[in-house]
Chains A and B, each alone.
Chain A
Amino acid sequence: MIEINEQEYGANIAFDELLDENRQPRPAARALFNYLNALPPGELESRREAVEAAILTMGITFTVYSEGTNIDRAWPFDIVPRTIAKNEWLRIEEGLKQRLTALNLFINDLYNEQKIVKDGVFPLEVLAGSKNFRTQCKGITPRFGVWAHICGTDLVRDKDGVVYVLEDNLRVPSGVSYMLGNREVMKRLFPEIFQASLILPVDDYPTQLYDTLAALSPRETSWPVIAVLTPGIFNSAYFEHSYLAQQMGAYLVEGSDLIVDKDNCVYMKTVTGLTRVDVIYRRIDDDFLDPEAFRSDSALGVPGLMRAWREGNVGIANAPGSGVADDKVVYTYVPQIIQYYLNQEPILANVPSYLCMFEDQREYVLANLDKLVVKPANESGGYGMLIGPRATPEERDQFAALIRENPRNYMAQPTLDISTAPTLAGNQLVPRHLDLRPFVLQSDRLFVTTGGLTRVAMKAGSLVVNSSQGGGSKDTWIVDTEE
């Protein structure tokens, strides 16, 4: 019998993903709880140890910089999965496809006719202040008109049970390898549950990613040469780069492995000479992609890569400049963007937001800093945020000054009571806050991962789920409850 920590659950006012108001398992979690309750005492604890050993051996790691040296940390993992009912998931999936379709139309419009600006739906001043709008990309329409081929969208659920989109990561979103790794670990250690309940599989992501990328090949060939471009072994997501390359059977390359020749094609340096590359899945930021076009001091990129791409001689995913839509101010316009391009109501809700660039909204934000979460427009990984209710008055004053100095760079949202899920602490279940990052693919097709990566704050009450700041993760189950 698995025990729920009454004290922590009694004080939990958030929506719990697995347990209802009476602390009974929701339908999608019933099979899981039956299983957990039937385990002999001590069994869960020993499985947890086995999981940790498996993660260490499988080498599922991420790198932390902040401690002076680069340290490989084992991936923190909670063995109690997060469940979502299949019928709810299907609606979220539709919402994610709708959102990415609209965002890609938006990016392509911005780099070409800018109709949305001319029609007065999207203000010119927001575009003008965008750090990630790349003038080098103007006038280009990549294949299928798609710029962001891989998108990681962060979702949270508020206490009313509504799922909100928190942000769209359109630059180089990471985490999908952990989603796959989590499932692999769970299958190794809990094979019985997968036999007993209807948990949808997640493992066709590498194939889908391969097909998405292959569709971008400029050459008509059944075996395009696909390369994953990594900044190298010291990058925090290196594990993921090598994992995906391996799963797809693609080459894992660094900038120094590639050159752009006089014919404006990209080649990689092999033991038999130069081999043409058709598609690059790049995992380095725009700034470092091509020292000829962007930062000239970059040693990570490939000189001439932008030339080759502009000429249509190589596919790049995500396309340079996609980050323009990965901006927390642009985010606030996504409902209008969906309306404008698709003439549809958004299926997934945005969190209500205040833009500091507009005076009335800024004044509201400054007057209510103790109630709001303030985010910089272009940071990721949870850096540079203010969580108003938890900040000291001094911190709030400092942030007020930052906002006044650069209003375009900040937006604010009400503090959500992010949902929780039962997480193992000792031999009890305690509520911990979590989010969900599904991955969405688009080229000649649209695809959404089954579920995604669930990130969980491992400390009581904490809302920070980022692995770089001590968060952990859970396997995510989309459960078919209808049979």
Chain B
Amino acid sequence: MLSRVAENLYWMARYLERGENTARLINTTTKLLLDLPRGASFGWDVLLKVAGLDSEFHKNYDEANESNIMRFLIEDPRNPSSIMACTRLARENTRSFREVLPNEMWERINSLYLYVKQNAPRAVSGRGQRYQVLNTIIEGRQSIVGLLFGSMSHDLAYQFLKLGRNLERADMTTRILDVNSAILTPGGDVLPESIQERLWMSVLTTLSAYQMYRRHVGVHIQPDKVVSYMLINQDFPRTVLHCLGELEGCLAALPHNTTPMRTVRRAWRRTAGMKVAGLTPVVLHEYLDQIQTDLAAIHDRVAEQYFYLHHHNDAQTQTATNQ
């Protein structure tokens, strides 16, 4: 497998995952806002904080209102993480390795791209159509994952796709959990408990985890239990620990995996050991920061090990690093 192709596969999976997560995040937030009382100290700009796109947004827009933020997150080409940009990048990446993917994969991703291109403006313009459009996008992306799962042999290409997907997913889970520290700034007004519960419920909904949480943890939404569930439960596919376990499995199937594997295992141990009971927003934020740092380190080690050759041209260094 070519280094360049491995890297493109990895990023394609990340872009697809990111696009879907953004769509989920917007859908849940749109619903949440309908339920909140007037004057709750929470606005659309929290979405920018979650996505880590705060400063990028303000470079391009004056006012953080709903329509600007929706445009930025859904269809703005200047935002490399917008749903449109992610889908386009995923499609462009797919074009560069059609030969390693099942034939239908290209058609699916191309259809998804054409759909986003045609319908993104509808999702921006009003809440009415937004839900339906974003849901179709989520479905489109899930049909792609299903196709890969059902018709691709578990070769190297598959492992790189899976690496990208799980790394992006773990990252997004920490960002979505962090939404509350963006709202409940230390020293600021503490929100009434009922609203807090709503917020945590929306966290679970965004992660498609609400139903599973109720079945496996309990009917009551308790902040520390939600956090604990989303960080260290090993069975639900969007928890940090589950994703780290998946990363470990991918690396086990790849050659020369010593260094990246060590980084994954360290992150796993650190996350598993986090004490969640009686958690304050400040500590939660630090925990999440730590996980994000660990995820970034995993990315770096993977890139150094497998994508390195693609970025270098000297034959001798190459031979040396690959002994």
Contacts and interface: CB of A to CB of B under 8 A. Distances in A.
Interface in A236-273: 238-239, 242-243, 245-246, 249-254, 256-257, 259, 261-262, 267-273
B55 interface: no
B110 A57 contact: yes
A59 B106 contact: yes
A259 B322 CA distance: 15
B319 A271 contact: no
Given A242-B99, A249-B99, A252-B98, 6 more contacts: A57-B107, A57-B111, A233-B92, A269-B4, A271-B3, A274-B318
A469 B97 CA distance: 28
Interface string B281-322: 000000000000000000000000011011001010011001
A430 B128 CA distance: 47
Interface of B: 1-6, 92, 95-99, 103, 106-107, 110-111, 114, 156, 160, 254-256, 306-307, 309-310, 313, 315, 318-319, 322
Contacts of A243: 98
A264 to B, nearest CB: 12
A233 B313 CA distance: 21
Contacts of A270: 1-3, 309
Contact of B95 (A238, A249, A272): A238
Given A233-B96, A245-B99, A246-B98, A271 B1 contact: yes
Given A246-B103, A257-B2, A268-B2, A274 B95 contact: no
B99 A250 contact: yes
A58 interface: yes
B110 A59 contact: yes
Nearest to B109: A59
A257 B7 CA distance: 12
A425 interface: no
Query: Mostly helix, strand, loop or mixed at chain B's interface?
Result: helix
A56 interface: yes
B255 A261 contact: no
* Interface size class, chain A: 20 to 34
B322 A246 contact: no
A262 B107 CA distance: 42
A253 B2 CA distance: 8
17 contacts: A56-B114, A58-B110, A59-B110, A233-B95, A242-B98, A245-B98, A246-B103, A251-B2, A252-B98, A254-B4, A257-B310, A262-B315, A268-B2, A269-B3, A271-B1, A271-B2, A272-B255
Contact of A269 (B114, B255, B310): B310
B96 A242 contact: yes
Contacts, number: 89
A271 B96 contact: no
A273 B92 CA distance: 25
Given A254-B4, A257-B310, A271 B254 contact: yes
Contacts of B1: 270-272
A57 B107 CA distance: 6
Contacts of B322: 272-274
Most chain A C-beta atoms within 10 Å of own C-beta, residue among B2, B92, B96: B2
Contacts of A246: 98-99, 103
Contacts of A251: 2, 99
A57 B104 CA distance: 10
Nearest to B323: A273
Nearest to B321: A273
B256 to A, nearest CB: 7
Given A57-B107, A274-B319, A252 B309 contact: no
A271 B255 contact: yes
Nearest to B307: A271
Given A253-B2, A269-B4, A259 B99 contact: no
B315 A261 contact: yes
B309 A242 contact: no
A267 B319 CA distance: 11
A233 B93 CA distance: 9
A59 B104 CA distance: 11
User: Which of B95, B99, B156, B318: most chain A CB closer than 10 A?
Assistant: B99
Contacts of B96: 233, 242, 252
